[in-house]
Amino acid sequence: MERRDFLKRALNFFIASAALLSSALLLRFISPRQKTAIEQYHYLMQEDELPRRGVKKVEFTIEQYGKKRTQRIFISAAKGSVTALSPVCTHLGCTVVWDHNSSEFVCPCHAGRYNISGEVISGPPPKPLERFTLRVESGRVFIGWKA
């Protein structure tokens, strides 16, 4: 091999590997660090305020990175069990509303419908509404919130 050809090849190899390496670094750089969500319990309401039947909108405040944020969830009571449901539609993240007349959760974005337990009745949502754990301690209700 001539010196000239060798130089060319070496240069091409160098440029290609530099490009590859920097792309890998760039990809790592732009990918946000995955944080493991920690479940924390927040005070929600008194036990006797829980609905016996039907759906109740409840707001509570969480503090994250020093910022306070109001979060809304649904407490739904049906067939003797009480569940805390997320208002976030599992389709594309819009907020669902409780429709009293049809007793369904309805998503205004793409007409997804869920029943009182948060299971999908019709429309595009792929999963039921997310459930949160509720814990009752001496008459006070706490909600497990992952953040």
Residues 102-141 that bind other proteins (CB under 8 A): 108-111, 123-126
Position 71 contacts other proteins (CB under 8 A): yes
Nearest CB to other proteins, comparing residues 8 and 108: 108
Position 38 contacts other proteins (CB under 8 A): no
Whole-angstrom distance, CA of residue 10 vs CA of residue 12 = 6
* Cα distances (angstroms) measured from residue 16 to each of 19, 23, 34, 79: 5, 11, 30, 65
Residue from 28, 29, 36, 93 binding other proteins (CB under 8 A): 93
Residue from 91, 104, 118, 143 binding other proteins (CB under 8 A): 91
Alpha-carbon 34 to chain mean position: 14
Position 92 contacts other proteins (CB under 8 A): yes
What's the half-sphere exposure (Cβ side, CA atoms, 13 Å) at 85?
Answer: 32
Whole-angstrom distance, CA of residue 43 vs CA of residue 65 = 19
Q: Smallest distance from the beta carbon of 85 to other proteins, in angstroms?
A: 14
Q: Give the three-class secondary structure for 44.
A: strand
* Interface positions with other proteins (CB under 8 A): 30-32, 34-35, 37, 59, 69-72, 91-95, 97, 108-111, 123-126
